[in-house]
Every structure is written in structure tokens, then in C-alpha cells.
Structure 1
């Protein structure tokens, strides 16, 4: 889709509100839902150009700041995630959903996270896009489930493509340790066949993840979840280990991990986008990685929407379109699609050794 074409089809607020309401309606017929789904898909596609420009700016900023290690990735929010969010928030207008287009930055430690955020929103910054303040600082104020990261929404602004001005892009900035925890949440969700990050899944698993988040917060010297703030590190570690031993969580995580031989891809350095499809088969999980060049962006969007539609009826398929570089960079930015929780397990075992030996 060209930018000029995109200018002509940006739907109005009322159109998006009706589409969102239709998608979660119990009374809308199939034709109405299909039309609403098409509206949503076109609305989502409009965010492709802004997030592409945005992530290039972020990469440049990370290079300028000379971070020891950084990973930058972009993605369009998955349709099931958008619809699930609308179902959880029935009064939400689709036009006001701020994380349709997302960019994620993974940095070595807390100091780098804070520095990048300040560079992007500080008064002296020259970043073109307008930050919506205050941000959601889930590092200083972790979510009740243990999630930690900084979420900063920006309003896209461009001299060259003003027709897209006003679209919202969400930037997530997190440490590698926080990212390993989020990956474990996603992977355990696959094992449990439940969206743990949306509050589903077994109580024991959710408790274990909250405890592990607290141990990681302690390691990084940041506030822990409120209801564990008066508990000692040793008590937190002991309860987490008791749950892990009883449920054999590490064994399950290692069992589902996808080895290199189960990754199907013909990707090389020419490819700008990758469509990831995680699918359960008889002998385990497999991830297919379909690469696209920059010139094939439109085709990638069409295939993404088509595969999502096909996957709606299957509980053992997950699809996402990402841009993060080569396969190595993709695995680092989206390890949950490769069910890779090695770093999480290593960090938890280290915490057990530190506090329980």
C-alpha cells in the first residue's frame, strides 16, 4: 500500500468505534463482522509506515548513545490481541487504542532503559514524534502480575506524510532480564493453552511468575510487586522453588523449546519483514518463518491478515508479522515464538542458589 493511498482510506473515529463494537457484539451477523474485521485490518495496516520510520529513529538513537547491547524490533498488534482487548474493555473506541503499532527495545540494564527514555521525552530531545506523558512506568510500579517495562506512547508526526499524523505508536523499553520474564509468561501460556498475561491460566503458574518477577526486581534494585514488598528474598525464592519442583516448570519449558531443526526459513539479509507462525504438530512445536523484502510489504500484510483469519479456528496456531533483522535478531526479540526460555531458567536457578544454598 502506498502512502498516498493510505491518506485516502484513513477511517473516521465513528467508523472505527462501530467496527470495534461490531467485532465484540453478540448480535452482529457474519457479514457485519466480516466488514468490521476488514475495517480493522486496514486500520492496522496504516500503522506499518509510521512504525517502520519510528524503529529506524530508535535504532539511530541507540547507536548514538553507544549502548553495549540493544535489540530493536517492531510489530503490528495481532488481531486476536486487539479483539481480546476490546472484549475486556467494551467501552473502548478502537480509534483510541494506542498500541496497534508497537516498537520494542531490549537493553542491558536499568540505567540504559532510563537513559533512552529520557533522551526521547526530555525537553532537549530532537525526536520528531510527540510523547504522551506521563508514561506507564511498570518498572517503578510493576503490574500486579509482575510485568515490568516502560510503555511510552508517541503521536506520529511527519513533514512528508502528514496524512498519517496523529497515529499512535507504543514504545516498550525493557531490560534483557525483564524480557526473559515476559518470554516465560508467553511460553507458559502456550503450554497452558491460556493467555496468562491477560489473567488466565492456573493460579500456581501465575503465582510462580509473580514470585520470579519479584526476584528479578530485587536483582535489578527496583520496586517489587506490592503484595510481596514485605516478604524476604529467601521466602520469595523458597515459595517459587516449591512451586517449580511440584509442577516441574523448568522441565516443561525445556521440553517445548524449538530446536534449530524445527525452524523453517529461507531468510537472508535482504529481508525486511518476517511472518512467524508457531504451530503444534504431532511431534511437538514448529515455527515457520516466511521472509519478505521491503518491496513485498504489501504482500506480507495480505498474508498476515489471511493467515490470521485461517488461524482463528485453531487454538494451536499463533501468527505475527515482525521486523527485527535476521533470524538471530528475531529470536532475541521474539524468543516466545521459538519457546526459548533458557535465560529465564538460568536466572531463576541463580536466584535459588543465591538465597537458598
Structure 2
């Protein structure tokens, strides 16, 4: 029997508590139906018997108090809401217990921005991690010694797992089901919950906003120039001259401020603009490519797929409402 401890921290997102509970209970039912013994003992664990969430709109009743859980096999850390620093402070009493259980052999899995609580334990130092793409900049600022993997759905290292943003955590839950049972059961669970099994990237869902929560005003001006001139063939030398900075100085300060090289930032801004054009216009691939300053189709296609995980055509077909509407009218 595998003991699964689903933590219920203060400010937890209720779905991220309920969904893993539902998943592991469902797998127990699948196993019973196939004539096997249930595998998972699932408990909701917290410091107190009741945890009120969503401004007391929901009350979660706890199976086990933290102090009574001497050992467990798997800890699930759900996503949290609100101000991250405040949430970590509210839940700091959970951290030593998580560390102790991991030292005793437990596996630990964070869902979405539950990665902030996991990282606060120190267990992720020097290790790779995933979280919601929208929280990546804040995560890097708070935990510079953690290797955040952009766009990843699942990371796994030294009995520590993490998932990408929002519903991406279903992929991690399926991964754990397969690890503890078998591929057949994981496929059954994916069909039951209508989840695409083995999806590897959240990049197609990510929106690049540009990292401007820094204090280097000269670098902010360079960022703004890039964002306002996406149709141009921008290069680092011209940007450095425009900012009255040496190239090496610009590159060093830009990386420090934004966590991107200048070239990476230019590419991400241009591809974000291309994505929005594919979503909201009837322009073809070449028109969009020229609009964002590219003239070589192969280069544009390769870069677009590298950043989004999809080709330009795949992205347009997936997200363009106008194309969908025309298709439905024809059919």
C-alpha cells in the first residue's frame, strides 16, 4: 500500500487538493474492478483539523494532522493562491516536515505554483523544477539557485517532482500513476479523466510579457524599443549604440535584469507578436513572418516551434477563432 499525503496548506487552491484525491481514489477503483487490491492510502494532511480556503468559501476536513504522520511514501504539494511571499510565511511550519519525510525516503511532488513551497524547503537547491509559466520570473528572483525549466510540464530529480502551470498537474498525476502501477492503468486514467497523456510542454499556452520588474532603467528602454519595433531586423550592436552602451555591457546588464540574452528577448518578443497575429487575423504564414521582421521561412518556422512547441500552421489551426468559424460555416 502506497501512502499518499496530500498537504492542505493555507491559501491552497481547492481544485489542486481535490483533483489528486480524486485521481488516486479513481485508480483504486480501477484496480478493484480488475480484481486487484487497491494500491493507495490517501490522506489529506494539515496542521489543523479544518482548513478554510477561498476566503472561507470552502472548508477542507483533514484526515491526518501533520504531527501524527510519522512516515509517508508520496507528498503532494498543491498550488497556492494570492501573494506568494505571504503564502510561504503562512505555511512555514510545513517545511521541516516535508524535508524530514524526504530524508526518510518519501517522494515529493509540487503542483503548479506549489513549487514555491517546495523550493522554500531547500530541497530544490541545484535541481531542476517546473512551475506556471506566468510565475517563472518571480520564481527565479526568489530562488536563483533552482534550475527552472521553461515550458516543461514535468520535472523529476532525486525523488522530487514538479509540474507546469494550472491543469498541467494532471500530467504529473498520470506520470505518478504509471510509476506506481503500470502503463495500462495510466492510459485508463487518462481516458477516464479525458487527459492527453504524455503532453510534454506548456509552451503553447505561455504568453511572453517581458521581465520589467527590475530597476535598470536603461535596460527597460531597450526592452521598450525592441517591443515597439518588432518589424525591424534588430541586432545587439545597434541596440547597444542606441543605448550609448558597449555591447558587452548591454549583454551583461540585459541578462542580469531579464534572465534572457538580448537575442533571446528579441526572438521571444517577435514570436509573441506572431502568435497574437495567428490568433486574431486571417494573415498567412508569410505575411505574419514579414510583419515580425523575418524573411527566411525555415528560420522562422524553426524558431517558432522551438519557443511554442508547435509549428506556425499548427498554432494557427489550434487557436485562430476566425479559421475555426470559417471551417464550421463550410461544414
Normalised to the residue count of structure 2, the TM-score between the two structures is 0.28
Q: Per chain length, whose mean CA-contact separation is higher, i.e. which structure has more relative contact order (CA < 8 Å, sep 6+)? A: 1
Task: Report which of the two has the higher share of strand.
Answer: 1
* Larger Rg computed on CA atoms: 2
